[in-house]
Structure 1
Amino acid sequence: MARKLYPLSIQTFERIRIENRFYVDKTEYIYNMVHTDSACVFLSRPRRFGKSLLVSTLQSYFEGRKELFKGLAMEKLEKEWTEYPVLCFDLSGGKHQEEDQLNRYLDYILKENERRFGIECDAVDANVRLANLISSVYNKTGKQVVVLIDEYDAPLLDVAHQDERLESLRYIMRNFYSPLKQCEPMLRFVFLTGITKFSQLSIFSELNNITNISMDEAYAGICGITKEELLTQMSDDIDRLAAKMSITREEAILQLTDNYDGYHFTYPSPDIFNPYSLLNCFSKEKIGAYWFGSGTPTFLIEMMRKFGTTPIEIGTREMADVSDFDAPTETMESIVPLLYQSGYITIKGYDEETNLYELGIPNKEIRIGLFKSLLPNYLLRSSQKGKVAIAQMSVLIKKGDIDGALRLLQTFLETVPYCDNTHYEGHYQQMLYIIFALLTDYRIIVEQRTAKGRTDITLETHDHVFIMELKFDKSANEALEQIEAKRYADAFALSGKKVVKVGIAFSVKDERNITEWIIR
């Protein structure tokens, strides 16, 4: 079978269809969305999850480009194919800008739309320009207007942690969006995408009729690639990858699942794979960290610092109320909403009695990428040495040699300086957690609940369970005694795996390193 042409870095529906590139059919979702009671819809999804392609598909649909939908679900569903004038605004070009730059960018995207419809406007203010554009197009065509806004929040994300700059840029964007309410009679459909929610923007504070479908079960699979879509529409891709990697089809599916699956944007929800990573993996025929490697989450790291969020907090599953997912960025009381909206944690379960959602890191690509980006906060100049040491530790642990792994870690920590002159346990506990979390192919749990307490770190391989207790400025024997006294190992008695208890002593005051350990 001929190899597919993948739409890597292509987000235009028209081009994908004309060039016969691979397209996962999402047009049934689009048909359902535009034939509902709401004429103003908002969708939140992480970056590179297909939002821009969705906007482009909507544009082709509303422009009546029937020929582009041949063979897709829309061809059978839509009977009328009414053509509407479509205004498109891509705000992704407004990132990393000061006030003057942002105003000039808004001028640019308004001019582009005015040019398309032959509209002239002498007004300077963006809100007047947008209102004039909508009304002029409406009067000129005699049809209601469709407005598509992609990445509405892009100009604000990078300054979310800077209150003063956020306020000034938010004012500009609020001014720009304000006509959408007053022009409502002239609008057929308004669709906005973004990552997070900013309060005091007119689309949320003034458009009280906006429908947020981000957590609607009916649209759970509107972006991303579902497990069913992978196994059916991409079946031959799986076989090709398996052959390239010299593994079975089942092993290939397992690796794809471990690395790229795990996203759920509501509950219940189908398993969602990261589309960017999946397509890149099939194109390059190699498992890699494609999504995380495509952009450093600078704004996220800054917000984590602002909230004092620790790696253990991110790596530990926690419960959240449904209101937490929709919390405005400026009024967040924790980093949880932004982590969820940005795709670094996702829904892992739901408790009907409490109406609470369980949140956790989606997959190995995110876990390793996120913790690698956090490690420099705890160690200086550790990147290359750290990668080598962690890879070597991983091999030793796979063989069951925890003693050799700890010796390697001790040697590594002797060779690298720490970021600050920190002398408190929490700093080193977070550092050790990150290092263990970066060990590949293993399940790591921090403070796992057992019948009589919580273990510090539990590391589970295919045939071993390592129960580790850390003691700071105390003895390794005290750590081991706690494991025994609280019978932590009982929780794994039925696992069928060899249980290894490890008491570890860490000196904070003097060596600032692991000083001893006892293995039983």
Structure 2
Amino acid sequence: MVRKRYPIGIQTFSEIVNNDYVYVDKTAYVYKMAHEDGKFFFLSRPRRFGKSLLASTLESYFEGRKEFFKGLAIDNLEKDWISNPVLHFDLSGAKHVDKERLLTYLDFMLAKIEEKWNIVNPPSGENNRLSNLIDVAHKQTGKPVVVLIDEYDAPLLDVVHNEEKLGELRQIMRNFYSPLKLNDPNLRFVFLTGITKFSQLSIFSELNNIVNISMRPDYAGICGITKEELLTQMSEDVDSLAQATGESRQKTIDNLTHYYDGYHFAWPSPDIFNPFSLLNAFSAKDIDAFWFSSGTPTYLIEMMHKFHVMPSQIGRMKARSSDFDAPTETLSSLTPLFYQSGYLTIKGYNNFSRIYTLDIPNREVELGLMQSFIPYYITPDTAKANVTLGDMAEALYKGDIDRLLHLLQNFLATIPYTDNTQYEGHYQQVLCIIFRLLGTWADVEVHTPRGRVDIVMKAFGCLYIIELKLDASAEAAMHQIDLRDYAEAFSHSGLPVTKVAINFDSTTRNLKDWRIKKQV
């Protein structure tokens, strides 16, 4: 049997089904959405999560392309295959643009669709051209029009930290989308996808009837690959990867789960795997950080600087839905941006308090995030950092903390001067990033009955209590650990405890001395 090809980077539904690529059937969701109450829908999902493929699937469905759906779920659901005119706009090409280039892109996009509908002399103004397109498509076919807008927020993401530029681009997009409300009688269905959620007031003017399905449990699995889909529709792919890596089927499933699973966009929700990473892993016959390697979250780093958010602060937290499923242009915290971009996801929900638990989804995201912080907190020489991290991982696995600290000391000695290293918190963040890159659990400023521990780390069945000092001595740091009996606070863990006291020198910006003591 010939293996189907994986649609890496292919987001056109017709191309996937006509060329026999692997396709995880989401057409039952398409049918459900097409028969929902209302006609305006919005879906937020992280990048590379299948939003564009979903929009393309909707395009084929509303065009009545029944032949594309043979053998899929919707083939048994839909009885009336009605063809509607579809206007499909893809804003993903408008990233990293200024005002003039955004207007040029909109002109280019509109001109292509106008050519399809034989519009020779369109009116001036992007909003008037969209309104005219809807009117012409409706009159030529006699049927209500479907409008699909994919990646509606793409022009805005990279300037979300810049209020002036954001305002300019937001006004252009508001103007472009304004005909949607005015042309309501001529519309059958409108669907918008994006990463972030901008307020209806700022983007969609009077369009206040959008149904946001992003956090609805009945649409939780509309994008991404569920655990059930992995084990059924992709079962042969799991076996093929297991054979290639020499692992058992169950070990392969565990590895895929550890790296790519863990997303929940509603509660309750099935476990969702990152589809881009999963398909790449099956294609490459290797488990790696594919999602992060496909794009660096520069806008996220910029926003972290603006809001003074430290790497150690990204992780497990409690929040109401209004704290993270919220418009991103009026941020009071970065929680909505972290969540909507896929760096945090829902991990639990309390029905009584209506409080959600959020956390980093999986190992791929944590690894990618921490690696992206290396140039900002440690060194621009990421290649050298990766080699050192490999040696440190081996030392940590062997429980040789002294060697680990020697490796770190030698490494830091090679790093040129960087700003903002004259305070203890900087070194706390450096160690937190390193420990989390090594695959450990690490937390900072951990409260105990007698004070706060700088860093608590758990790795390979051991617990490490780490106290830092700047321009003092390792003896002073160890004295603080003993005096406040930090180790006693963690005795209930059942793990052997090692106390680590480290002193940094602000002049050399490096470790000066350290002490290591195992708790008896």
Q: Shorter-chain TM-score: which interval?
A: over 0.9
In the TM superposition, what whole-angstrom CA distance separates every residue of 1:243-289 from its partner, at most 9, and x where no partner exists?
21122222211211111111111222111111101100000001111
In structure 2, the residue matched to 1:101 is 101
1:410 aligns with 2:406: no
Cα distance, 1:514–1:347 mapped onto 2, change above 3 Å: farther
In the TM superposition, what are the counterparts of 1:431-450 in structure 2 within 5 Å? 431-440=430-439, 442-448=440-446
TM-fit CA distance, 1:356: 1.9
**Percent of matched pairs sharing the same residue:** 58
Gap runs ≥5 in structure 2: none
Does structure 1 conserve the Cα–Cα contact (< 8 Å) formed by 2:64 and 2:81? Answer: yes
SS of corresponding position for 2:43: strand
**Greater shift after overlay, 13-22 or 243-252?**
243-252
2:10 is aligned with what amino acid? I
TM-fit CA distance, 1:495: 5.0
Does structure 2 conserve the Cα–Cα contact (< 8 Å) formed by 1:378 and 1:418? Answer: no
1:144 is aligned with what amino acid? P
Does structure 1 conserve the Cα–Cα contact (< 8 Å) formed by 2:446 and 2:456? Answer: yes
In the TM superposition, what whole-angstrom CA distance separates every residue of 1:281-306 from its partner, at most 9, and x where no partner exists?
00000111111000111111111111
2:231 is aligned with what amino acid? L
Does structure 1 conserve the Cα–Cα contact (< 8 Å) formed by 2:262 and 2:272? Answer: yes
Cα distance, 1:202–1:133 mapped onto 2, change above 3 Å: farther
1:129 is aligned with what amino acid? R
Does structure 1 conserve the Cα–Cα contact (< 8 Å) formed by 2:122 and 2:132? Answer: no
**How far apart, in 2, do the equivalents of 1:79 and 1:185 lie?**
25
In the TM superposition, what whole-angstrom CA distance separates every residue of 1:459-483 from its partner, at most 9, and x where no partner exists?
3233322232323334334434444
**How far apart, in 1, do the equivalents of 2:36 and 2:203 lie?**
19
SS of corresponding position for 2:17: helix
Cα distance, 1:498–1:234 mapped onto 2, change above 3 Å: farther
Does structure 1 conserve the Cα–Cα contact (< 8 Å) formed by 2:420 and 2:426? Answer: no
In the TM superposition, what are the counterparts of 1:157-196 in structure 2 within 5 Å? 157-196=157-196
**How far apart, in 2, do the equivalents of 1:46 and 1:126 lie?**
28
Cα distance, 1:492–1:345 mapped onto 2, change above 3 Å: same
SS of corresponding position for 1:87: strand
**How far apart, in 2, do the equivalents of 1:262 and 1:79 lie?**
36
In the TM superposition, what are the counterparts of 1:47-58 in structure 2 within 5 Å? 47-58=47-58
In the TM superposition, what are the counterparts of 1:363-402 in structure 2 within 5 Å? 363-402=362-401
**How far apart, in 2, do the equivalents of 1:255 and 1:319 lie?**
27
**How far apart, in 2, do the equivalents of 1:201 and 1:107 lie?**
24
In structure 1, the residue matched to 2:497 is 499
Does structure 2 conserve the Cα–Cα contact (< 8 Å) formed by 1:121 and 1:132? Answer: no
Q: CA RMSD in A?
A: 2.0
In structure 1, the residue matched to 2:140 is 140
TM-fit CA distance, 1:137: 1.0
In structure 1, the residue matched to 2:288 is 288
TM-fit CA distance, 1:454: 4.7
SS of corresponding position for 1:134: helix
**How far apart, in 1, do the equivalents of 2:153 and 2:204 lie?**
12
Cα distance, 1:188–1:101 mapped onto 2, change above 3 Å: same
SS of corresponding position for 1:38: coil
In structure 1, the residue matched to 2:122 is 122
In structure 1, the residue matched to 2:154 is 154
In structure 1, the residue matched to 2:467 is 469
TM-fit CA distance, 1:516: 1.4
**How far apart, in 1, do the equivalents of 2:493 and 2:514 lie?**
28
In the TM superposition, what whole-angstrom CA distance separates every residue of 1:138-193 from its partner, at most 9, and x where no partner exists?
11111000000000011111111122111111111111000000100110000000
**How far apart, in 2, do the equivalents of 1:36 and 1:23 lie?**
24
Does structure 1 conserve the Cα–Cα contact (< 8 Å) formed by 2:435 and 2:441? Answer: no
TM-fit CA distance, 1:98: 2.1
1:370 is aligned with what amino acid? L
Does structure 1 conserve the Cα–Cα contact (< 8 Å) formed by 2:85 and 2:143? Answer: yes
SS of corresponding position for 2:413: helix
Does structure 2 conserve the Cα–Cα contact (< 8 Å) formed by 1:261 and 1:271? Answer: yes
**How far apart, in 2, do the equivalents of 1:221 and 1:418 lie?**
48
SS of corresponding position for 2:329: helix
In structure 2, the residue matched to 1:258 is 258
Does structure 1 conserve the Cα–Cα contact (< 8 Å) formed by 2:428 and 2:444? Answer: no
**How far apart, in 2, do the equivalents of 1:61 and 1:174 lie?**
28
1:424 aligns with 2:408: no
Does structure 2 conserve the Cα–Cα contact (< 8 Å) formed by 1:379 and 1:417? Answer: no
Q: Which runs of 4+ in 1 moved over 6 A?
A: none
**How far apart, in 2, do the equivalents of 1:116 and 1:90 lie?**
16
Does structure 1 conserve the Cα–Cα contact (< 8 Å) formed by 2:200 and 2:208? Answer: no
In the TM superposition, what whole-angstrom CA distance separates every residue of 1:398-452 from its partner, at most 9, and x where no partner exists?
1111121111111211221242153112222112211111113x33333445565
**How far apart, in 1, do the equivalents of 2:492 and 2:23 lie?**
45
1:437 is aligned with what amino acid? R
Does structure 1 conserve the Cα–Cα contact (< 8 Å) formed by 2:428 and 2:455? Answer: no
Does structure 2 conserve the Cα–Cα contact (< 8 Å) formed by 1:178 and 1:202? Answer: no
Cα distance, 1:32–1:200 mapped onto 2, change above 3 Å: closer
**How far apart, in 2, do the equivalents of 1:51 and 1:465 lie?**
42
**How far apart, in 2, do the equivalents of 1:486 and 1:232 lie?**
54
1:338 aligns with 2:337: yes
Does structure 2 conserve the Cα–Cα contact (< 8 Å) formed by 1:264 and 1:347? Answer: yes
TM-fit CA distance, 1:354: 2.9
In structure 2, the residue matched to 1:317 is 316
**How far apart, in 1, do the equivalents of 2:346 and 2:449 lie?**
26
SS of corresponding position for 1:228: helix
Does structure 2 conserve the Cα–Cα contact (< 8 Å) formed by 1:42 and 1:211? Answer: yes
**How far apart, in 1, do the equivalents of 2:58 and 2:412 lie?**
54
TM-score (norm 1): 0.95
Does structure 2 conserve the Cα–Cα contact (< 8 Å) formed by 1:381 and 1:417? Answer: no
**How far apart, in 2, do the equivalents of 1:205 and 1:349 lie?**
34
1:171 is aligned with what amino acid? Q
**How far apart, in 2, do the equivalents of 1:201 and 1:168 lie?**
15
TM-fit CA distance, 1:494: 5.8
Does structure 1 conserve the Cα–Cα contact (< 8 Å) formed by 2:263 and 2:361? Answer: yes
In structure 2, the residue matched to 1:479 is 477
**How far apart, in 2, do the equivalents of 1:452 and 1:69 lie?**
64
Does structure 2 conserve the Cα–Cα contact (< 8 Å) formed by 1:204 and 1:210? Answer: no
1:306 is aligned with what amino acid? K
**How far apart, in 2, do the equivalents of 1:205 and 1:484 lie?**
61
2:505 is aligned with what amino acid? S
In structure 2, the residue matched to 1:71 is 71
Does structure 2 conserve the Cα–Cα contact (< 8 Å) formed by 1:377 and 1:419? Answer: no
1:304 aligns with 2:304: yes
**How far apart, in 2, do the equivalents of 1:421 and 1:460 lie?**
28
**How far apart, in 2, do the equivalents of 1:5 and 1:326 lie?**
36
1:317 is aligned with what amino acid? R
**Greater shift after overlay, 462-471 or 329-338?**
462-471
TM-fit CA distance, 1:3: 2.5
1:124 is aligned with what amino acid? S
